[in-house]
Amino acid sequence: MSKAVLKFIRLSPTKARLVAREVQGMNAEVALAALEFTPNKAAGIIAKVIASAVANGDYEPEEVEVVSCRVDKGPVLRRFKPRARGSASRILKPTSHIMVEVAPAGTKADNDAKPAKTEKKVEAKVEKKESTPAPKKADKKAEKKGDDLTKIKGVGKAYQEKLNSEGFFTYEDVANMNEEQIQMMEEKYSFRGDFNDAVASAKELSQSKES
């Protein structure tokens, strides 16, 4: 088995993973041929990494298959765009780390006996789940009741669910967010615009609610 790694490539990991999933498990020669005719920036980059992995092991492309094609998230480059009233909006430029592993075809044959054991484990887990009483959904809903966060500037229904998943249910929760939490929400969920405006809007809603 041999591998090749390409780091800090200017490419979105989300877009690169779409190509990586299609290539994984394919013969290296077939994968290179398919990527050559794929109209995608990630296709050309991943093809070069596969060719490098094949060359590192002194293999021929038709002799090996792509065992693993992994795309990890790299550091995000931050740029700013001027906006109205002297403000600025953040522009995020993601980077990726691509790792490809190739191995001679047929090396996975030794792992054929494992699925039977895993099926037994799955059946045992299902029996345990059936025996344990299911939690009451009504209690969870009661705990998670909060304000309508869609009234906050720039927050829709989809982003409200993301805020709830991070533990923010009321206007006060959003208004009291610190800089680290604001930066986390912008980077993790790609908030459109400046999240500071949403925090300011939440403070206004929180004050009007108290009055």
Q: Does the pTM of the predicted model rise above 0.85? A: no
**Do 101 and 144 lie in a common domain?**
no
Q: Is residue 121 part of a domain?
A: no
Q: Is residue 123 part of a domain?
A: no
Region for residue 167 given its phi and psi (left: phi exceeds 0; alpha: psi -120 to 50; beta: otherwise): left
Q: Is residue 37 part of a domain?
A: yes
**Do 151 and 69 lie in a common domain?**
no
pLDDT, residue 136, reads: 53
How many angstroms separate the CA atoms of 87 and 66, rounded? Answer: 48
**Do 100 and 153 lie in a common domain?**
no
pLDDT, residue 191, reads: 67
Q: Is residue 74 part of a domain?
A: yes
**Do 36 and 88 lie in a common domain?**
yes
**Do 6 and 81 lie in a common domain?**
yes
pLDDT, residue 134, reads: 54
Question: Which letter does DSSP use for residue 153 in this model?
Answer: T
How many domains does the chain fold into?
2
Range of the structural domain that residue 16 is part of:
2-105
pLDDT by position in tens, the chain (length 211): 899 999 999 999 999 999 999 999 999 999 999 999 999 999 999 999 999 999 999 999 999 999 999 999 999 999 999 999 999 999 999 999 999 999 998 765 445 545 555 555 656 565 655 555 555 544 444 344 577 777 787 777 777 787 888 888 888 888 888 887 877 777 777 766 677 787 888 788 878 877 6
pLDDT, residue 138, reads: 44
Asked if residue 123 lies in contact with residue 31, where contact means CB atoms within 8 angstroms, the answer is: no
CB under 8 Å to 50, separation ≥6 — which residues? 4, 23, 28, 31, 32, 35, 66, 69, 100, 102
- CATH code at position 101: 3.90.470.10
**Do 162 and 92 lie in a common domain?**
no
**Do 101 and 154 lie in a common domain?**
no
